[in-house]
Structure 1
Amino acid sequence: MSQSRGNRTPFDEIYDQPDPRAYFSTLGRYGYRTPHHAQPVFRRLLAERAKSGRVTVLDLCCSYGINAALLNHDLTFDDLHAHYASPGVAELGTAELIERDKDFYAARRRADAVPVVGLDIAAPAIDYAVSVGLLDAGFTENLEAASASPAFLRAAASTNLITVTGGISFLSARTFHQLLQAAAEPVWVAAFVLRTGTYRPIADALAEHGLVTEVAVDRTFEQRRFTDPEEQRYAIAAVEAAGADPAGKETEGGYHTALHLSRPPQHLATPHGSFVWPGS
């Protein structure tokens, strides 16, 4: 999901393709890595959530189901990049690629795979992710502009882990109010948030539903390299305006994200609004 924000370079066209080859080739030029960083974090959260029962994931701004691929399959982000950049895949039509990818993902499916529901406004990306079996259900609804459909609310009702790696800049409290109202059990929300903006309005909305938001304090996660000096100047200024220090991060040439985790108070590991990942 890509839209213009400030002086950030938009990548809208890569989400309107019928398969993810342009996604990997375009973002790969800038070293995009957020799903790579998210994979061990989300798997750790799944393991924690699974201690209380079955887990269903709702991945927001899910595009081609990349997070679902990394959650539920014995694959790394580099594996996916190599797969979609390989000469054999490059020569295929989309219909042929879909058939090949059904087998590709089925052969690597983990025994502990969990249901994943995807939400994104990019219909081609959702169609692909559902067609190859990455998403158990996919929806193209824009909850920022309209109320959720009954079908989506039914699918989202069993969600107890919401993940976001690339869309917080395009979301507001409106979306999260609808999601939390639909949930039938306590939900955790894990979001990688660009340091150029603020998560506060969303954290406040989650607080209205009883969730406490903590921020990982031990590290940030590089999202991708800047496309040009103008984008870097914009990012440095935005990070400073948000009250953070860009030194050693955005000043070194790339966007960075911070991990935010929201949970019910009884599920908190720390009481003071920040946490350090064990072994990170």
Structure 2
Amino acid sequence: MAQTGGRRTSFDEVYDHPDPRAFFGSLSRFGYQTPRHAQPLFRRLVAARTRSGPVTVADLCCSYGVNAALLNHHLTLDDLYTRYTSPQILGLTTSELIKRDQDFYRAHRREDAVPVVGLDIAAAAIDYALAVGLLDAGFAENLETGPASAALLRAVGPVSLITVTGGVSFLTARTFHQVLRAADRPVWVAAFVLRTGSYQPIADALAEHGLVTETDPEHTAVQRRFTGPGEQRYAVAAVKAAGADPTGKESTGSYHTTVHLSRPSKDLAMPYASLVSPAQPDYATGRESPHPG
């Protein structure tokens, strides 16, 4: 973890290990929880897209397949934190862990699991997610700097839902254009976006593909705690510069995200709020409570 006095702290060193133990160990210290918020939302979106036919998900910046693990398995984020920080797991070699994880995820697989295509520049993370069965296809490619491979373009052909929880800060229109041009059917895009930057350039790019982007700036979700006062000062200033108010959110010590959902105009009859915030998740169980968000 790179400590920075005037900008966002980098966790780059934990994203390309042979397995996810360093990832979960480092991020658990700061209460990283975006995948927790994404789990019930992505399941609702998959269910909505299923009405139009079989669903394949493309998860951008997928790292070790965390979103796929939570989407397709009877597991919570806390289950994953507990597993990958336990002394028994920490003592294994990567090969031993992969063998155990193959059995672990197979035992917890949901009957309604859907194919997930993962994209990330971290080759080791992609290799792990493929090895344990979290991804049906995975690609260590940087679409920001070059064209997508023919294999990636084929893999995203059947995609009807694109998800991203931790990479919007590193993405531009280049990545989305390549994926959407390869899709054979209308696509929805769901992104958790830090309030320290603007999603508008990506929303503008999605509009070129006929997608309308909706968000609710008042409904936010905690991403993680700040690593220190310097990072908090950076975040508060960045949120203000973006035209938002950090009071009660970043000012209290954590990054916050907003959900941006982009869909073809014909799909807007299904209200944004009914998909994004119909209930608050019960974080102890991974189920949703009936209480409104």
Q: What is the TM-score of this pair, normalised by structure 2?
A: 0.91
> 1:208 and 1:37, CA in 2 relative to 1: closer, same or farther beyond 3 A?
same
> For residues 107 and 67 of structure 2, what CA distance do their matches in structure 1 show?
17
Q: What corresponds to 2:178 in structure 1?
A: 178
Structure 2 unaligned runs (5+)?
280-292
Which 10-residue stretch deviates more, 93-102 or 82-91? 82-91
Give the conservation status (yes or no) of the 8 Å contact 1:14–1:22.
Answer: yes
Displacement of 1:278 in angstroms is 2.1
Q: What corresponds to 1:159 in structure 2?
A: 159
Q: What corresponds to 2:230 in structure 1?
A: 230
Q: What corresponds to 1:14 in structure 2?
A: 14
Q: What corresponds to 1:79 in structure 2?
A: 79
> For residues 271 and 259 of structure 2, what CA distance do their matches in structure 1 show?
17
Q: Which residue identity lines up with residue 206 of structure 1 in the other structure?
A: L
Q: What corresponds to 1:148 in structure 2?
A: 148
> 1:275 and 1:72, CA in 2 relative to 1: closer, same or farther beyond 3 A?
closer
4+ residue runs of structure 1 moved beyond 3 angstroms?
A: 269-276
Displacement of 1:218 in angstroms is 5.1
Displacement of 1:83 in angstroms is 0.8
Aligned residues: 277
Displacement of 1:16 in angstroms is 1.8
Q: What corresponds to 1:137 in structure 2?
A: 137
Q: State the superposition RMSD in angstroms.
A: 1.8
> 1:130 and 1:272, CA in 2 relative to 1: closer, same or farther beyond 3 A?
closer
Matched residue of 2:102: which SS? helix
Q: Which residue identity lines up with residue 230 of structure 1 in the other structure?
A: G
Q: What corresponds to 2:286 in structure 1?
A: none
1:65 equivalent to 2:69? Answer: no
Matched residue of 1:10: which SS? coil
Matched residue of 1:92: which SS? coil
Cα deviation per residue 1:78-127 (whole Å; 9 max; x = unaligned)?
A: 00110111121111000000000000000000000000000000011000
Percent identity of equivalent pairs:
69
Give the conservation status (yes or no) of the 8 Å contact 1:217–1:274.
Answer: no
> 1:231 and 1:217, CA in 2 relative to 1: closer, same or farther beyond 3 A?
closer
Give the conservation status (yes or no) of the 8 Å contact 1:115–1:135.
Answer: yes
> For residues 24 and 88 of structure 2, what CA distance do their matches in structure 1 show?
15
> For residues 108 and 171 of structure 2, what CA distance do their matches in structure 1 show?
32
Displacement of 1:186 in angstroms is 0.2
> For residues 231 and 155 of structure 2, what CA distance do their matches in structure 1 show?
38
> 1:273 and 1:38, CA in 2 relative to 1: closer, same or farther beyond 3 A?
closer
Give the conservation status (yes or no) of the 8 Å contact 1:216–1:277.
Answer: no
Q: Which residue identity lines up with residue 107 of structure 1 in the other structure?
A: A
Matched residue of 2:191: which SS? strand
Q: What corresponds to 2:52 in structure 1?
A: 52
Matched residue of 1:153: which SS? helix
Q: What corresponds to 1:36 in structure 2?
A: 36
Matched residue of 2:154: which SS? helix
Q: Which residue identity lines up with residue 86 of structure 1 in the other structure?
A: S
Give the conservation status (yes or no) of the 8 Å contact 1:215–1:274.
Answer: no
Q: Which residue identity lines up with residue 124 of structure 1 in the other structure?
A: A
Q: Which residue identity lines up with residue 231 of structure 2 in the other structure?
A: E
Q: What is the TM-score of this pair, normalised by structure 1?
A: 0.95
Q: Which residue identity lines up with residue 260 of structure 2 in the other structure?
A: H
> For residues 89 and 272 of structure 1, what CA distance do their matches in structure 2 show?
40
Displacement of 1:277 in angstroms is 2.5
Matched residue of 1:258: which SS? strand
> For residues 216 and 111 of structure 2, what CA distance do their matches in structure 1 show?
29
Matched residue of 2:163: which SS? strand
Give the conservation status (yes or no) of the 8 Å contact 2:225–2:253.
Answer: yes
Matched residue of 1:212: which SS? strand
Give the conservation status (yes or no) of the 8 Å contact 2:41–2:275.
Answer: no
Matched residue of 1:213: which SS? strand
Q: What corresponds to 1:207 in structure 2?
A: 207
Q: Which residue identity lines up with residue 231 of structure 1 in the other structure?
A: E
> 1:90 and 1:267, CA in 2 relative to 1: closer, same or farther beyond 3 A?
same
> For residues 9 and 65 of structure 1, what CA distance do their matches in structure 2 show?
22
Matched residue of 2:258: which SS? strand
Q: Which residue identity lines up with residue 242 of structure 1 in the other structure?
A: A
Q: Which residue identity lines up with residue 229 of structure 1 in the other structure?
A: P
Structure 1 unaligned runs (5+)?
none
Displacement of 1:269 in angstroms is 3.6
Q: What corresponds to 2:89 in structure 1?
A: 89
> For residues 270 and 196 of structure 1, what CA distance do their matches in structure 2 show?
29
Which 10-residue stretch deviates more, 217-226 or 167-176? 217-226
Q: Which residue identity lines up with residue 126 of structure 2 in the other structure?
A: I
